[in-house]
Amino acid sequence: MQRHGSPFCTALGFLVAFIVLCVLTVPAHAAGQGNVNFILGQKALDEDDWTPPDLDTQRESGVEVTWGGESWPIQIATDFLASTKTDSLSGVDVQGTTWEWAFGVRKIWEAGPARPYLGGGLALVNVQVDIGSSSPNDSALGTWIGGGVFWRLGSRFNIGLATRLSKATGNITNVDFEAGGLHYGLILGWGWPATR
């Protein structure tokens, strides 16, 4: 069933704009250091809030951007993640969607080519449930903490694993929904300055 004004398409539009912004601003941060890591994975939501139908495990994609001065012990984290899943309930398609703008700080350690990291901060989280022609949604401010490890391959390319936990409660038709969840996925990205 085609959905008009799909929130996932809107979130995807935000993601594309964010990626373009990152690409355009990387030269401005050339004197500093940072990483743009794309995440492909899953988001596990609260089963009590998201079933039935079975919407509690959603496909997710996004980007973790870490930037700051070369001498900064902790850097700025600006991330965006979006997840979605469609299932049916009594023959009616139901689509659950969330997206998160996350802001905070992130510490990345260097151990040879390995880059373990840990971060946390605030998140603006949106939740929407499309049932037929109805698309109730809500946004809420919450928190996140996350970490992982990636390896620098060559001078700039990053590959690794990421996980995070986010918490934010939205209210749809007078029912509270946990819009945050457990996130996990693969990292593909690049960093600057180039390693030698």
The CATH code of the domain that includes 48 is: 2.40.160.20
Min mean pLDDT across 13-17, 81-85, 155-159 is at 13-17
Task: Please state the domain count of the chain.
Answer: 1
pLDDT at 35: 97
Question: Helix, strand, coil proportions of the chain in percent (round to 5)?
Answer: 15, 65, 25
* Residue 187 pLDDT > 50: yes
pLDDT at 133: 86
Range(s) of the domain holding residue 179: 7-192
Burial 125-140 (b: 16+ CB within 10 A, else e): bbbbbbeeeebbbbeb
pLDDT at 195: 80
Instruction: Give residue 65's pLDDT band: very low, low, confident or very high (50, 70, 90).
Output: very high
* Residue 134 pLDDT > 80: yes
Residue 119 lies in a domain: yes
**What gap in Å lies between CA 122 and CA 45, rounded to an integer?**
18
Residue 1 lies in a domain: no
Look-up: residue for tokens 């995807």?
Answer: 12
For the whole model, what pTM was predicted? 0.84
Residue 105 lies in a domain: yes
Torsion of CA 121, 67, 184, 174, to 10 degrees: 40
- Neighbouring CB atoms inside 10 A of 165's CB total 16
Mean pLDDT within 66-87: 95
pLDDT at 12: 57
Question: Residue 193 is encoded by which pair of tokens?
Answer: 């300055």
Q: Are 131 and 97 in contact (CB under 8 A)?
A: no
* Residue 191 pLDDT > 60: yes
Residue 2 lies in a domain: no
